[in-house]
Chain A
Amino acid sequence: MLTIDNLKKHFGSVKAVDHVNLEIKEGEIVSIIGTNGAGKTTLVNLISGYIKPDSGRIQFLDKDITYAPPYVRIKLGVGRSFQLIQLFSNSTVLDNVRIALFSKYGMIRRGLLPADRYSSVTDEAIKILDSFSMSDKKNLTPKGLSEGDLKILDIAIAFALKSKLLLLDEPTSGVATNDKFKVMDSIVKAIKKEGISTLIIEHDMDIVSGYSDRVIVMHEGKVIAEGKPNEVMENKEVKATVFGIVS
């Protein structure tokens, strides 16, 4: 589904992403782990089109999207959430999701009828919120939500784009420890139901091993290991660079 060949992005002397190759298959949940500055978020930014690479190639569903603008990638089915929550702060929870749906369906040029008149979109938005157990909060603005709910809403927006590939940048960061699994359960349940391929950046190893089919480890812009969660955790280089355990 997603193939990355020799992708490179340097910021001056910092090799944020350095000749990375990776592949994600349909319906797969892949986690990327690594220390701070390993290049995980830069990689997600490159895949989502937020920044452009220096060289290399990104292919999605056999189409070259290396330099495609974000709206083209979204049309093809690449959606993302953010490490630092990015919401439409003055809009209601419902509108946050509806705007994404209007965009996905190419309806945002419609400029005279009130958004409420598009009842099918509203119903769909409520259904999405329902699948994340948030429909009871639909009339609140993000200011009235807990950190966990903000994270879920951020992901629900990406989900509303009917993404075939979802990029989740630290979906549980900032969420209280007790709520982390609740948040992940509701996310993964929705993802699995739709068969969406997912790339998750995560620091919490319990989350990584609990929800991922495969783990990719990055260090200083390079992929240093890849495999099933338990295999990767046992890798000596990973233990040394990511967990600081020298045996």
Chain B
Amino acid sequence: MVKNPRWIVYSLIFIALLFIPRILSIHDLMLFEYGITFAIVGLGFNLLLGYTGLLSFGHGAYFATGAYTVAMIAKYLPQAYSLEILIPAALFFSMVLSIIFGFVCVRHTKIFFSILALSLSMLLFALLFKLYHITGGSDGLRVPLPTLFGMSFKGIRRPEFLSGTYYYFLLGMFSVSFLVMKGIVNSPFGKALQAIRDNEVRAELIGIRVRRYRLYSFIISGMFVGLGGALWTFVNGHVTADLSHWVFSGEIVYMTLLGGFGIFEGPIVGAIIFTYLKLYAMGNTQYWMFVIGGTLIVLVLLLPNGIAGAFAGLWTKIKKGVEET
């Protein structure tokens, strides 16, 4: 593992990330934490898009499931409101929803898959929006600070919580997610997904049960996105039904494209950049959607492999040039 220079870079980045709370202002750190939660979402989303070849416009549903699991436990089961329970619960409920929705969606591919995923997420949106007495409807639900292994954060303000224990918890969760996903995509299972993406017919005729493996990919993807949603709630402090709206699902697609879905690290880069881009665009102009849309157009036309993909391409060219000389 260490022989590969890529892992040396990963390790250096991880060490640098340990010192981020000392470098960034609390405002920038919070933004960075939003970025990390979206990076976990991106990792999960890209298993489906980049590695299985299925474009979902409904992954907001699993993000919302993770987020609402936390918020509902806070409201209805406060005695269980502890991170070590909340995270497995969020994973469990996003898995359940992914199994149900995935079972329907993976029966189709291409545009039909995308539309089905979108429609199902809008069903969840309608439920979250209309069941006001349970979900808080358009007002949403407030998310208090959780406990962690009996450690209470009562009396601590959210920014302090986010710049201390929670940052390192989040970093730990991101690192585990990163390693697990890296393992998945390079494993025989990951190779099977890529085989399905590249040639469904051949995959079927070498004995891969295509629909079943698409479902597995969908479930794992949904669980990662659900985990991202759960972790995001503590940074945001509030959840609303909009998380399951297709517009939010579109943002997940956007950040993955921004970073590049053809490269493992792409969605992570995209998630961090998108978080800052969106906030600074929103803070500087009322036409922020124009900025976001314009960026996407430029990206698709000039950098179809995304930002990370473009850098990876450049690096390969430089390496080739050095080898030739």
Contacts and interface: CB of A to CB of B under 8 A. Distances in A.
A104 B207 contact: yes
B199 A87 contact: yes
A6 interface: no
B194 A114 contact: no
Nearest to A71: B207
Contacts of B199: 86-89
A52 interface: no
A245 interface: no
B90 to A, nearest CB: 21
A102 B191 contact: yes
A48 B186 CA distance: 29
B99 to A, nearest CB: 17
Contacts, number: 99
Nearest to B198: A88
A98 interface: yes
B195 A91 contact: yes
Q: Is the interface of B mostly helix, strand, loop or mixed?
A: helix
A109 B195 CA distance: 14
B152 to A, nearest CB: 35
Contact of B208 (A71, A80, A82, A110): A71
Interface string B238-266: 00000000000000000000000000000
A18 interface: no
A111 B189 CA distance: 5
A98 B255 CA distance: 33
Interface residues of A, number: 37
Contacts of B213: 108
Nearest to B182: A114
A92 to B, nearest CB: 10
Contacts of B202: 82, 86-88, 157
A118 B203 CA distance: 20
Contacts of B197: 90
Contacts of B198: 87-91
B321 interface: no
B110 interface: no
Nearest to A89: B198
Contact of A112 (B180, B191, B208, B209): B180
A99 B195 contact: yes
Contacts of A91: 191, 194-195, 198
Nearest to A104: B207
Given A91-B194, A116-B186, 11 more contacts: A50-B205, A70-B204, A71-B204, A74-B206, A90-B198, A91-B195, A99-B206, A102-B188, A111-B184, A113-B183, A161-B207
Interface of B: 180, 183-184, 186-192, 194-195, 197-199, 201-209, 213
22 contacts: A48-B205, A50-B201, A50-B205, A70-B204, A74-B205, A75-B207, A79-B206, A80-B205, A89-B199, A91-B195, A102-B188, A102-B191, A102-B192, A109-B188, A111-B183, A111-B189, A111-B190, A114-B186, A115-B191, A157-B202, A157-B206, A161-B206
